[in-house]
A and B are shown apart, each in its own frame.
Chain A
């Protein structure tokens, strides 16, 4: 794919975020979609490409009343929307469609109109993981952490600092769910969920959604918003079973997707002004810093504990407060993309002044999938 041929021209979250018991999951999709369409100055009938995850594309497209000529239902967990952006950019370049709408929404907290996700007893997960007492992602996602800590010399205090720093960002964001400052002691004394992780190292559970609209860079100039260009993209999958990851000291899916995006963008790590790394749990930013090549894993804990990712630091990371403090409806990737777009437009609540390149890295499942999008506001 060529650089800067496709741009985000519409981006919006649901009108409300947090606890939204008066709206079903498909209506949250519609709320986000209508907000993004208004943001782009378009009409529903202008949309000819559509992508979504968890809900089927036919469900949401029909609910919205749109007739797409290009559809993507890739559903690989929380980074599905990074993959949708990548696929949409390729489709627009190939001439399959002109204007793509990507929606995400989840009634993650209120559970209104939500399709239950079941693991069959004869699936591989059902046979070889479920019988050992796994339940929520909190019982699965942190399983690699102790090995990661031992291999790379990461401390409990460093993993606590991830949550502390992200709360500092959240405090600057009026829409963040949790804004009260916390300390390392607060994190290490909070309720144990799945050792080594405590509740302040686990993502929030909220309701909400978001939507993006993409079109060719050539058309993007005529839209009301400042275009945010797609500079580089990458994707991969590894395994739906966390126990079957190649190793626990790194994520193969991250190591494939991240470098693909950097190579396509033609940038080095020094060029990155702003970074989002999907943080369902506190270890993910460390995996991301290491596997995307920003630094050796050994240095990632010290880097965050040293304040380099906090407000005013040299590598602003998860500037909306992240899944730990901003919001997490279940598939957080869309919110990371929204924050990257806000930063590139220059309108984020905690704006990184002069930021020109934003890297947005997502995870799906428990290291099962990965997608990386690199945005820029310059052509």
Chain B
């Protein structure tokens, strides 16, 4: 029997721009034209003020490590132990991700360390934004 596949996201009309962006090597966020709040996950209105006038923009890709666990249990597509992290993007929103190019240990994964976005192509439709320690 084939090994169960890793969970793959499937875009909806409201999130398609995000996955198109990731495929093009861009981390795309949205910002409210009325109140200037940047937000995530994607939706065609502002969760802070309700305005439907919002813009999509390319985020800087800079982030800091907000929190994480190092998972030790088997999950399809992953080799334990691996970190499941939440990062704080420079623009304000937070997102879940994995941290790559870094030992998956409490010593190496220091809270508030600086990170930058990188992309991993899963298949033709989906490229995932991941984060690695900042190079600059």
Residue ranges of A at the interface with B (Cβ–Cβ < 8 Å): 119-122, 124, 126-136, 138-140, 142-148, 150, 191-197, 241-244, 248
Contact = CB atoms under 8 A, between A and B. Distances in A.
Interface in B8-34: 8-12, 15
Contacts of B67: 143-148, 248
B76 to A, nearest CB: 9
Given A121-B7, A122-B9, A133 B98 contact: yes
Given A139-B84, A194-B72, A146 B9 contact: no
B111 A130 contact: no
A121 B5 CA distance: 12
B59 interface: no
Interface string B55-81: 000000000001111111101011001
B9 A139 contact: no
Given A121-B8, A128-B95, A132-B84, A143 B68 contact: yes
Nearest to B96: A243
A130 B9 contact: yes
A19 B69 CA distance: 30
B73 A138 contact: yes
Interface string B107-136: 000010000000000100010100000000
B41 interface: yes
- Number of chain B interface residues as a range: 35 or more
Contact of A129 (B40, B70, B96): B96
B37 interface: no
The DSSP consensus for interface residues of chain B is loop
A292 B122 CA distance: 43
A365 to B, nearest CB: 15
A12 B59 CA distance: 54
Given A121-B7, A121-B8, A142 B94 contact: no
* Most central of B73, B78, B81, B84 by chain A CB within 10 Å: B84
B106 A195 contact: yes
Given A133-B78, A144-B67, A126 B7 contact: yes
A243 B111 contact: no
Given A127-B41, A128-B41, 16 more contacts: A120-B10, A131-B6, A131-B126, A132-B96, A132-B97, A133-B71, A133-B78, A133-B82, A133-B98, A134-B71, A136-B73, A139-B71, A143-B69, A194-B73, A195-B72, A241-B96
A145 to B, nearest CB: 7
Contacts of A143: 67-69, 84, 86
B69 A131 contact: no
27 contacts: A121-B8, A121-B9, A122-B11, A126-B9, A126-B10, A128-B41, A129-B96, A131-B6, A132-B96, A133-B75, A133-B82, A133-B98, A135-B73, A135-B75, A139-B69, A139-B75, A143-B86, A144-B67, A147-B66, A147-B111, A192-B72, A193-B73, A194-B71, A195-B70, A195-B72, A195-B106, A241-B96
